[in-house]
Structure 1
């Protein structure tokens, strides 16, 4: 296994000029312009081409430097174990971690170092040795009197302890306590299984380190107390059929596996004159699936669920999303991008797929961990990729739930894309592999397959997409317009993406003549697919119009652009123009001299307005009148050849939905 560390998660001091651990490491802010120019020149020489203006060259250089830096046999040697059983940790409660590091056969040279890395993404206390009363206080001790350790925090969640006095001899044991002070350690914001602490060792003191390969430092983080209630319905259904409502109790940030004992009543179930009561025992799962038989004469179903105390008083309540009941083509709610603890997310692949179906109530989900971003990159750790494939196979049930595989092509040159496999699972193609490090090379590798490339974070953070290469729409038919990072539609969006770059908004992409469709997806890192918006300012979902809940059905709908995106809210949106659904390509003459656009919206909050947008901007605005539902036949200006038409929905809670455009020849 290649245990090389990944920049930002565990940055190499060697990437800052070969400084050893007892020297001050350079930071990007302190780098001189000359050093940046030299790094750029080295990258251009390695790449063989000039990078685009939007490239994040500092990140790419650190990754490249990490890859090409040799390791000493002493780097990463030794073993690490918890003292006693794996520690107990719980969201919102202080914890304490005791572990022993045993030096490897070459020991650790004086001036070498041991690095303690807490999980680097979700709010853990940074290990520190300066303030005993503060969170994260960490101690390093050894029985030998002539050994000491100079410890200090050098980055977020990262501490280095430099060996002083003499070499740490082979077999000597260093006792480490993370959370040694009264404040303990602040743990993950999200409950998860199989997270871990990481140790790395610079065995020869040259400033280069590697993860300790023989480390058993995995443990679980229990969720916080039960405090939220979720209730999900399918987006649409046909009259008379049986659907499944998904009811789940979670903690404050949406984590499942909470302890819950009590009663929940559900109001609005067809045929029930009074709310139906469901009892949950101490040993029961805190989620439940409820079969609902729809009558023939119903157009919309909305349910209300309430948690009751022993006296029958309401502790908390929630309303479901709307289920539109009609003979029309189904809308499937899907989250086609998210991350587990195998890269920079939370939890296991098994938990990810379980949450998507039994808590998130999704029709389909894709797990798209990064090719090279995390402490053990998928690119160099094939057994992790095998874990994802096995979890997908175990949870996949076409016709009921699709557990899709994919990966994020994490290009710091051209912007991030995720690849979703809608046929057979295929090998990972890394943006760090010189054979696939440009979009045309990625597209060529996907040509002739049932896998799609989907660009995301189009207009901003963490890196904007470079649009210089025209996409092949069979391979890249849609963009992820909105996610946990925000919306990339226009600068006026209320939940716009952070660190935006002018000229990279979706309206700019359309101006290039690229005929993309639109989806949203979470790009969630909290282990809660379909629910990224619970603990973030924005989220994302894809609404896909397909009667067929199979990979082939999703592939056909996405290539036809018969899809829309939301900021996480389960808004039902349909449009029809000259009997054609959203995403259709048609002749401008086909819509007639006095065209009308049929819009149907079923909101999760009162509707503020609906905007009809062409290539020039907003052409019609419809007042939502603070209603939950709208069905309107709206006169529109005749479209121009080469033009487009799309719909934006804005609710009073600032959640939005965006239809794929119609394109006119």
Structure 2
């Protein structure tokens, strides 16, 4: 297909835009990850010329099934048929020039189509045995399909309709309970309990059910009971009376038989001077290349993921002027000090050759939008304001109260460029991969940066993004922990500036690291003849800890083998393949493992998955 044929021209008020009538035959609501059937019917309102084409496109992050015609009894079978029996052919393609509607089924009418006749696309057509077509794995209030046509190869593409379906969660699969990492004894605090489906969505609850929540540190011995509402999440207040590390247990009281344990909670005899707050600083919604509205995005972070803070980071070359206004308004609207903190931001998304992806965070509710380019922006009237190179970004923001985080992303940041006053943070984990090589690169250059993790998610689920069918991501998203005296934008901002933060792959691990009076993130001038006498480290995991490594720069100085110190081993054996195919984003990092385990003189009594982030693994 020629470049001219790939170019998008969106026209809705012309003769060509009304040349085709569209009808949808199927359910308006579908279950995430399920098999479904539906038909898209296109009726010609005028004679369509020979060689006319129709394109059905869905957005880049959507992991709908991949249409196939080779196996009529298999999943994702697609049948195309005209009402007058004329020939029709179709094929799949992925086009960057249609971004963010990259995934396309093209339909060609070699003989054209007479006015009044129709062409039908039957997804999951079951007459010859197909069980159905795979629905995307993440919830979305309005999952969009862009419907376009052209009169023939080389002609402009015209969008004549948008169709949307609602995607809801699947059956309950697991409980997740989140509690504050640090509380004062005798003081009420809030716990958050949610029910996820196997894809990490809010589960579909056909009816409310009861939960029992217990802890040996609660004021009363009697367990708390709470009814889970249809939204699949709830909050409840509790009090811990005894100092120490506690974990809250929760279980369902019905046939689901779900059970879980919370993150570690440190109960302090006196109100702690600092608390630990958790959130996701890096993801995007339908503003950008992601999914769901920005309001749904922030609500998900606050209400379902139980995040304390969040930021929205759309690719700058996809954000229109109106969308930036909407981003500012939504970020301000959802900001609630001491409840949920939002940070205004955008991802400067230049190619790696000019600096690579950098997340920009602004301290207030308003900021000027300065893009790397106008590649996908229709209104180019302000193109002269673009900051085309990372050096331009540094010059523009130098001396301002702006935070920048470097990350691997789609266009990996090139750490050869560095501005210490702005580049305060480095993202070591996201749904792309765990990128310790990226952190080691920064350390080898002598950079001093706070380490964070996020999702870099495009599924509209900040704080608990999952990779689904692995179409554009590899692993579950991470979380950033920030040590601050209070949950306000100013306090969190200062903590990030001071590198008082750490990263996890999504677990709310309790970590305290200090050297004398110096806390995490501080710069200590040590006596060169004596060095630092000792470090004080305390770690409480969400599961048994395997190993703790101590690094100076890229050199591992010491490792603590927690399993070896725990005593006798169990009769379970872990078989794991791990690593990256290459440093970089999800495409470069992906490994397709294929191995086997043979046992002689014994037998395997049982097996279960380990470190699986999605059912498709």
Query: Structure 2 CA distance, aligned partners of 1:218 and 1:427?
Result: 32
Change (3 A) 1:388 1:79: farther
Separation in 1 of the partners of 2:546 and 2:428? 21
Aligned with residue 90 of structure 1, among 31, 36, 42 = 31
Q: CA deviation at 1:75?
A: 7.7
Deviations 1:322-371 (A, max 9, x none): 12233241111121011334444343323322221222211101122323
3-state SS of 1:277 partner: strand
CA contact (8 A) 2:349 2:411 kept: no
* 2:512 counterpart (554, 574, 578): 574
Match of 2:275 in 1: 330
Cα distance change, pair 582–180 in 1 and its aligned pair in 2 (3 A): same
Partner deviation per Cα, 1:264-323 (whole Å, 9 max, x = no partner): 111116112132222346xx432110112343x41223101001226xxx7120100012
How far apart are the structure 2 equivalents of 1:114 and 1:325? 62
| Native 8 Å contact 2:244 2:267 kept in 1 | yes
Q: CA deviation at 1:523?
A: 1.6
CA distance in 2 between partners of 1:108 and 1:421 (Å): 51
In the TM superposition, 1:28-47 aligns within 5 A as none
* SS of match in other structure, 1:532: coil
* TM-score in terms of structure 1 length: 0.72
Distance of 2:23 and 2:554 partners within structure 1: 62
Partner residue of 2:606?
Answer: none
Cα displacement (A) at 1:520: 1.2
Q: Quote the Cα distance in structure 1 between the aligned partners of 2:264 and 2:505.
A: 16
- Please show how residues 197-346 of structure 1 align to structure 2 within 5 Å: 197-206=145-154, 209-210=157-158, 212=159, 214-256=160-202, 258-259=204-205, 260-268=207-215, 270-280=218-228, 284-295=230-241, 297-309=242-254, 315-326=257-268, 327-346=272-291
Q: Which residue of 1 aligns with 2:335?
A: 396
Distance (Å, rounded) in 2 between the aligned partners of 1:603 and 1:626: 17
| Structure 1, unaligned runs of 5 or more | 1-12, 22-65, 491-504, 629-652, 656-665
Q: Which residue of 107, 112, 116 corresponds with 2:52?
A: 112
Whether 2:454 is the aligned partner of 1:521: answer yes
Q: 2:463 aligns with which of 530, 534, 550?
A: 530
For 1:389 and 1:618, the matched residues in 2 are separated by: 43
Quick one: distance in 2 between partners of 1:232 and 1:429? 37
1:477 Cα deviation from its structure 2 partner: 0.4
- TM-score between the two structures when normalised by the length of structure 2: 0.77
Structure 2: where are the runs of 5+ without partners?
A: 95-101, 375-382, 469-473, 567-609, 613-617
Distance 2:458 2:550 in 1: 33
What RMSD over aligned residues (CA atoms) do the two structures have, in Å?
3.4
What SS does the aligned partner of 1:355 have? helix
Once residues 76 and 530 of structure 2 are traced to their aligned partners in structure 1, the CA distance between those partners, rounded to angstroms, is 68
Extract structure 1 runs of 4+ deviating beyond 6 A.
Answer: 69-77
How far off is 1:119 after superposition? Answer: 4.4
Please report how far the alpha carbon of residue 564 of structure 1 lies from its aligned counterpart in structure 2 after TM superposition: 1.0
Q: CA deviation at 1:590?
A: 9.8
* Counterparts in 2 of 1:580 and 1:162: CA distance versus 1, 3 Å: same
Q: In structure 1, what is the Cα distance between the partners aligned to 2:556 and 2:85?
A: 75
Aligned residues: 536
Change beyond 3 A, Cα 1:165–1:424: same
Pair 1:474 & 2:424 matched = no
Kept in 1, the 8 Å contact 2:21–2:45? The answer is no
The CA deviation at 1:108 is 5.1
Describe the superposition over 1:620-658 as per-residue Cα deviations: whole angstroms up to 9, x where unpaired. 334446899xxxxxxxxxxxxxxxxxxxxxxxx889xxx
Residues 163 and 533 of structure 1, relative CA distance in 2, 3 Å threshold: closer
Q: Deviations over 1:218-276 (max 9, x none)?
A: 11012111121110011222344322100111211110152153221111161121322
After TM superposition, give the deviation of residue 462 of structure 1 in Å: 4.2
